[in-house]
Amino acid sequence: MCKSIEDFELIIYKYENNFGIPKLIENQENLINVSFLHKYSPYDGLFRAFLENSLIKHANTIQYFNICGQLETQILTSFVNLKDLVLMGDWERWIFIENLSLPSLQSLYTRDINTESLKGLIENSGGKLNELNISYSVIFPDAISTKEIIQVICQNCPNLTHLEFYYKNCNVLDLEKLLIKCQYLKILGIYYIVEDEFMNWDNLFNILVTSSPLSLHKLKIIYPVNQPELKSLKLFFDNWEGRKPISLIISIKGDFIRKKQLNDLIGNYKSKGVVKDFIHYSYEYDDLIESKAKEIVKDLKTKAANIFYGFKNLFN
């Protein structure tokens, strides 16, 4: 049996549980990266518990852990050298992670994690986080929850260089405090998924110019329903002059109305050294859902094939 696997990725299907896999995991000598990918099913709880317990032996070597759905055990408490954590949930409260201490954690990606659980996790992350990505796919936090999350980030993540999170217009002052607090920020991603409210581009651009650290050079604004006016972009670029050239990525519903004027505007500020890149792409909500679904299916098929042939080679 092979004992030199460092990267282990497993897709768990309902009722298809091979209890020989935990033994394979236990026998590895230097397991570093682990991913358990599955859609939560109450019928797989026992198998997932066996999988998680098989990682105890590797608690000191695991540096990357990716899990879909709630854990059956408290195995995360053992990962003292964990640097990268990916948690994908279903908005249920994960009480056990709220007091979880991860002193070596540097990168945290979460999707659909309950606000209280997420706040507790960030509070106990050890203060070394340099990358934090908070996303949602179905249910989105209200303004109060967003404010609370931003406050926790301000208090516990002074070393962030890359941050992506959910934002609403009414949280603009909270964003200002965050930008002042996170003085090493290089990349900022804002998810504005509010179908019934236009983004206030002028307020956002003003806060970015007046309060963001000089290190910021890449800005991603994803899914607002309205596009920024050309005069708003022009004012933003005028005020950005003298800083690091900005790379601006905007994804909006529909397309820019005045494309030629936009291209001329961007070209002008590129020649001045204000803009490094400007990437714009449009989406329709139904197309976005269909595209994401296709990507997920394609990705799962590819990963499943890779894992199948990997195991086939191991046991041949």
The answer on 27 and 117 residing in a single domain is no
Calculate the average pLDDT of the chain. Answer: 84
The answer on 172 and 120 residing in a single domain is yes
Q: Residue 314 falls within a domain, yes or no?
A: no
The answer on 250 and 156 residing in a single domain is yes
The answer on 110 and 197 residing in a single domain is yes
* Strand 162-166 with 84-88, pairing: unpaired
The answer on 118 and 20 residing in a single domain is no
Note the pLDDT of residue 15. Answer: 63
Beta strand ranges found along the chain (DSSP E): 7-12, 33-38, 64-68, 84-88, 107-111, 131-135, 162-166, 187-191, 218-222, 246-253, 275-283
Type of residue at 200: N
Q: Give the domain range for residue 170.
A: 88-283
* Statement: residue 12 has pLDDT above 50: yes
The answer on 68 and 102 residing in a single domain is no
Q: What is the mean pLDDT of residues 154-179?
A: 94
Phi first, then psi: give them for residue 141, nearest 5 degrees. -70, 150
* Total of domains in the chain: 2
Q: What is the Cα–Cα distance from 159 to 130, expressed in whole angstroms?
A: 5
Q: What is the Cα–Cα distance from 289 to 66, expressed in whole angstroms?
A: 23
- The Cβ-side half-sphere exposure at 254, using a 13 Å CA radius, reads 9
Provide CB contacts within 8 A for 247, sequence distance 6+. 217, 218, 219, 275, 276, 277, 278, 279
Q: Residue 298 falls within a domain, yes or no?
A: no
Q: Residue 288 falls within a domain, yes or no?
A: no
Note the pLDDT of residue 284. Answer: 55
List the structure tokens of 152: 């926790």
The answer on 255 and 159 residing in a single domain is yes
Q: What is the mean pLDDT of residues 55-79?
A: 90
The answer on 236 and 103 residing in a single domain is yes
| 145-161 tens-digit pLDDT | 999 999 999 999 999 99
Strands of 107-111's sheet in order across: 7-12, 33-38, 64-68, 84-88, 107-111, 131-135, 162-166, 187-191, 218-222, 246-253, 275-283
Q: Residue 305 falls within a domain, yes or no?
A: no
Q: Residue 222 falls within a domain, yes or no?
A: yes
Q: How many residues does the structure list for the chain?
A: 316
The answer on 242 and 93 residing in a single domain is yes
Q: Residue 221 falls within a domain, yes or no?
A: yes
Note the pLDDT of residue 260. Answer: 87
Q: What is the Cα–Cα distance from 255 to 138, expressed in whole angstroms?
A: 24
The answer on 49 and 2 residing in a single domain is yes
The answer on 142 and 53 residing in a single domain is no
Q: How confident is the model at residue 300 (pLDDT cuts 50, 70, 90)?
A: very low
List the structure tokens of 239: 């005020």
Type of residue at 115: T
The answer on 139 and 273 residing in a single domain is yes
Q: What is the mean pLDDT of residues 271-278?
A: 97
**CATH number of the domain that residue 239 is part of:** 3.80.10.10
